[in-house]
Structure 1
Amino acid sequence: MPLLRILLLAFPLIELASLIILGQAVGVGLTLLWVLFTGIAGLMLIQRNGWGMLQRLQQQMLVNRSPQAVLKSGMWGVLAGVLIAFPGLVSDVLAIPCLIMALRHRGGGGGPDGGNDEGGPRTWQRGEYTIIEGEWQAGESPDRDDRSRLSDR
């Protein structure tokens, strides 16, 4: 726990040092422009991901699907926006993997037909048949009800 407190105190100092080094390298004007640009971009990213996540959550709930992939994508997007909005270069670099994760989880999961997102079995349509992904272990015998259903076909 003390290490976390030290890191939380050191992070703004590291960010300040990175901005000072950037200011010495490219000038004060460009450094201020960078801070202004990343602040606006971060706020736009937070707003876009927040509203987009709410809309996608509503769509998932309407079709009775698990909202796990939507929440995961939205969480990474909002975290990236917060890191970009925070002034400094280190937080901007840390936002890049968050953006990648947000884009990676954007589409959800499933098979060729879209399938279910993470949190449930995946399904595929093959002609008139629906294939549901599942598990089977050798040596297991089907239940009595399953045998009667299989013999009816």
Structure 2
Amino acid sequence: MPFFRLLMLAFPLLELASLIVLGNRIGVGATLLWVLGSGLLGLVLIQRQGWSMLQQLQIKMAENRSPFAVLKTGMWWLLAGVLLMIPGLITDVLAVPCLVMALLNKDRPAPGEPGGPGVYKRGGNTIIEGEWQPGEAKPAEPEDRIDQR
């Protein structure tokens, strides 16, 4: 727990130090423009994707379909927007993988959706189809098997 507290104290200082270094490299005006631009970009991402996500959720729920894919993509957009709104270079760098994940998951179907992994029930168990890789022929333990009664 002390490490987490130390990290929470050090993080704003690291962000401030990164902004000071950036200000020395490209100038104060460009640094302020960077902070303002990334904050506005984060705000726009949250607003646009938030409303879009709510509309898509309403459509999925009205069609009685799984909202999992919409929520997963929306979570990445929201996290990227929040990280961009926080002033500093470290959070801006952390926002880039979130944006990549949001774009990768944008049109990926959820389990049970057409084109996604199949989902069906056998007895009292829900089975989600997955992929098998050769060389992983390790048998499942008896307590991990689905057909155990």
Identify the TM-score tier after normalising by the shorter chain. Answer: 0.7 to 0.9
1:26 CA displacement: 0.6
Letter matched to residue 121 of structure 1: V
TM-score, normalised by the number of residues in structure 1: 0.72
- Contact 1:68 1:117 (C-alpha < 8 Å) held by counterparts: no
Letter matched to residue 48 of structure 2: R
Inter-partner Cα distance in structure 1 for 2:62 and 2:97: 31
Counterpart position of 2:119 = 121
- RMSD of equivalent CA atoms: 2.3
Counterpart position of 1:28 = 28
Counterpart position of 1:41 = 41
Inter-partner Cα distance in structure 2 for 1:35 and 1:74: 24
TM-score, normalised by the number of residues in structure 2: 0.74
The 5-angstrom pairing of residues 1-153 of structure 1 reads: 1-109=1-109, 115=114, 121=119
- Contact 1:19 1:89 (C-alpha < 8 Å) held by counterparts: yes
Amino-acid identity (%): 59
DSSP-derived class of the 1:109 partner:
coil
Counterpart position of 1:125 = none
Are residues 29 and 134 of structure 1, via their aligned partners in 2, closer, same or farther at CA, if it must alter by over 3 Å?
Answer: closer
Q: Which runs of 5+ in 2 are unaligned?
A: 121-127, 131-149
Q: Which runs of 5+ in 1 are unaligned?
A: 123-132, 136-153
Inter-partner Cα distance in structure 1 for 2:95 and 2:8: 17
- Contact 1:69 1:117 (C-alpha < 8 Å) held by counterparts: no
List structure 1 runs of 4+ shifted beyond 4 angstroms. Answer: none
- Contact 1:57 1:70 (C-alpha < 8 Å) held by counterparts: yes
Tell me the alpha carbon deviations over residues 83-137 of structure 1, each in whole angstroms, 9 at most, x when there is no partner: 0111000100000010111111111316xxx71657x639xxxxxxxxxx869xx
